[in-house]
């Protein structure tokens, strides 16, 4: 075997204290990585929030439109969570290499349709009934971001594999460095400093493209031999269609799940945009805050997926159950704390992103509602991460479709437009649907935790596949 084993990164053997320490050591850097990723968009918004409402709203719509399809690719590539983490737990280092290399191949392939579907931005945004003054900026903004599709998805594939094998320091360093670069480019390109033209939202888009290309290249360089040993030669059966098909069938439901969830928030943004540019911009402030806090349970979710996968690969169902319970409890408590902060300090939090009076007035009303759904959002995110570590993807997808598009969006429309409650009604509809999603995913998790868990089968060596 040419792959030198790395430290497992977690304590072996039974014990709740060991599991808590193991998840903390894994989740803390993953949360930092998640916060770093969302910070790039938040910094973009903070710069644009001091330009004017149209530029801010256009970037919000352009980002929501592009991220809707990026989310499918991101979710699809989280198939690497169970595949690589379970291989790592089983000490199947050849399986780790196959998973990573296939993940990079799938990232390249899925980037092509995502880039193509983003091209007709004007017509799609008109179908979403956005204002023409917003479309005039949001459509070219979205087309510029197409150039970042491939590097972003390659980064996701490498990142998922590195997390699964507990190789986190290069990821943290990369995210910190790229955030500094992105903020500098925003300062130069949005406001026109150092002799550059003031490009507003378009400057933010170009800053994002440059930052994402640097992000994947810097990560590959910083990871060094610990990562490259899994890439230095083609893994056995790398291009066999049967295992690639199994990974695809496992990943597509997660891609749809992420698409459905992000699509629901994009749908809310589109409905908010039909109310007016101030409502849209105020909604984006609340979304930035909610997204920032959501990165904590999402990081815990990813860490839980790895820990559960590691324990399943090791053959320990009881260890997987313990990891799941620790993750759910941690996520619930932390989101209670975030919700309390949102309820108590809506104006100071909103003022971080904008000083435009009309926008601030909307966001101050919406931020407390964002605080209420923090608990439900965090619970469902962690539950889904645990299920993904078990390689359970189809039922969670159905639960997401039912909760977000069967309940949340129809109720948001009903409360916001039919009942005339506007922006507040839209958020109440989202809150009710999100509560249903959390309940359904938690019930699915309880069912699976009562069963014996086994490693997902991607390759059948005896059949040459």
CA-closest candidate to residue 301, choices 238, 388, 426: 388
Residue 50 domain flag: yes
Residue 430 domain flag: yes
Residue 465 domain flag: no
d(CA 366, CA 234): 51
Q: How many domains does the chain have?
A: 1
What pLDDT, in 10s, does the model give residues 84-100? Answer: 998 888 888 898 999 99
**Tokens 């109310």 belong to residue:** 275
Q: What percent of the chain has pLDDT over 90?
A: 41
Burial class of residue 355, CB neighbours in 10 A (0-12, 13-18, 19+): exposed
User: Pick the residue with more confidence: 47 or 214?
Assistant: 214
Least confident range of 35-44, 255-264, 452-461? 452-461
Q: Sorting pLDDT into bands at 50, 70 and 90, what band is 285?
A: confident
CA-closest candidate to residue 397, choices 76, 49, 35, 51: 76
Q: Sorting pLDDT into bands at 50, 70 and 90, what band is 386?
A: very high
What pLDDT, in 10s, does the model give residues 123-180? Answer: 888 887 777 888 888 899 999 999 999 999 999 999 999 998 989 999 999 999 999 9
Each as own residue / partner, the long-range contacts of residues 190-196 (CB below 8 Å, 24 or more positions apart, any chain) are 190/44, 190/47, 190/48, 190/51, 191/47, 191/51
Cβ contact 115:149 at 8 Å: yes
Looking at residue 460, what is its pLDDT?
A: 67
Residue 341 domain flag: yes
Q: Is the confidence at residue 234, as pLDDT, over 60?
A: yes
Q: Is the confidence at residue 458, as pLDDT, over 60?
A: yes
Residue 449 domain flag: yes
Q: What's the chain's average pLDDT?
A: 86
Looking at residue 465, what is its pLDDT?
A: 54
Cβ contact 401:317 at 8 Å: no
Q: What percent of the chain has pLDDT over 70?
A: 95
Cβ contact 444:387 at 8 Å: yes
Q: Is the confidence at residue 103, as pLDDT, over 80?
A: yes
Q: Is the confidence at residue 226, as pLDDT, over 50?
A: yes
Looking at residue 210, what is its pLDDT?
A: 96
Residue 146 domain flag: yes
Beta-carbon count within 10 A of 401 CB: 17
d(CA 411, CA 222): 47
Looking at residue 397, what is its pLDDT?
A: 95
Looking at residue 70, what is its pLDDT?
A: 93
Looking at residue 114, what is its pLDDT?
A: 95
d(CA 338, CA 209): 31
Looking at residue 461, what is its pLDDT?
A: 57
Highest mean pLDDT out of 14-28, 339-353, 383-397: 383-397
User: Pick the residue with more confidence: 456 or 432?
Assistant: 432
Residue 462 domain flag: no
Residue 436 domain flag: yes
Least confident range of 1-15, 127-141, 295-309, 352-366? 1-15
Looking at residue 6, what is its pLDDT?
A: 38
Looking at residue 13, what is its pLDDT?
A: 45
Identify the domain containing residue 72 by its residue range. Answer: 16-455
User: Pick the residue with more confidence: 410 or 279?
Assistant: 410
d(CA 25, CA 30): 9
d(CA 53, CA 354): 10
Looking at residue 456, what is its pLDDT?
A: 81
Looking at residue 156, what is its pLDDT?
A: 95
What pLDDT, in 10s, does the model give residues 306-318? Answer: 999 988 988 888 8
Q: Is the confidence at residue 242, as pLDDT, over 80?
A: yes
Q: Is the confidence at residue 1, as pLDDT, over 80?
A: no
């Amino acid at each position: 075997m040419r792959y030198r084993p790395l430290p497992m990164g977690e304590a072996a053997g039974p014990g709740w204290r060991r599991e808590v320490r193991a998840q903390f050591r894994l989740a803390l850097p993953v949360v930092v990585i998640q916060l770093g990723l969302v910070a790039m968009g938040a910094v973009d918004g903070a710069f644009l929030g001091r330009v004017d409402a149209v530029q801010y709203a256009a970037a919000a719509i352009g980002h929501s439109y592009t991220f809707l399809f990026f989310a499918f690719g991101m979710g699809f590539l989280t198939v690497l969570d169970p595949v690589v983490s379970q291989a790592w737990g089983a000490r199947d280092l050849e399986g780790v290499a196959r998973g990573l290399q296939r993940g990079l191949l799938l990232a390249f392939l899925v980037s092509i349709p995502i880039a193509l579907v983003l091209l007709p931005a004007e017509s799609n945004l008109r179908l979403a009934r956005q204002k023409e003054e917003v479309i005039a900026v949001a459509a070219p903004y979205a087309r510029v971001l197409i150039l970042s599709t491939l590097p972003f998805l390659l980064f996701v594939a490498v990142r998922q594999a590195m997390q699964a094998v507990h190789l986190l320091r290069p990821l943290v360093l990369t995210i910190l460095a790229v955030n500094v670069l992105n903020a500098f480019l925003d300062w130069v390109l949005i406001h026109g400093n150092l002799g550059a033209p003031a490009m507003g939202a378009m400057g933010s888009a170009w800053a994002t493209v440059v930052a994402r290309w640097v992000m994947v290249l810097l990560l590959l360089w910083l990871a060094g031999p610990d990562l490259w040993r899994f890439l230095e030669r083609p893994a056995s059966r790398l291009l066999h269609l049967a295992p690639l098909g199994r990974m695809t069938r496992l990943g597509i439901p997660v891609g749809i799940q992420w698409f459905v969830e992000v699509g629901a928030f994009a749908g809310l943004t589109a409905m908010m945009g039909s109310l007016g540019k101030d409502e849209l911009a105020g909604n984006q402030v609340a979304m930035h805050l909610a997204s920032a806090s959501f990165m904590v349970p999402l990081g815990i979710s990813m860490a839980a997926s790895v820990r559960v996968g590691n324990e399943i690969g090791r053959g320990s169902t009881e260890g997987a159950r313990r990891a799941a319970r620790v993750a759910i409890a941690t996520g619930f408590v932390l989101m209670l704390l975030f919700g309390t902060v949102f309820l108590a300090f809506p104006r100071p939090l909103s003022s971080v992103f904008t000083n435009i009076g009309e926008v601030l007035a909307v966001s101050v009303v919406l931020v407390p509602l964002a605080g209420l759904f923090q608990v439900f959002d965090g619970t469902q995110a962690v539950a889904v991460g645990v299920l993904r570590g078990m390689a359970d993807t189809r039922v969670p997808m159905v639960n997401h479709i039912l909760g977000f598009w069967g309940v949340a969006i129809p109720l948001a429309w009903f409360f916001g437009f039919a009942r005339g409650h506007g922006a507040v009604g839209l958020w109440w509809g989202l809150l009710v649907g999100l509560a249903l999603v959390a309940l359904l995913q938690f019930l699915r998790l309880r069912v699976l935790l009562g069963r014996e868990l086994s490693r997902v089968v991607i390759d059948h060596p005896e059949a040459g596949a």
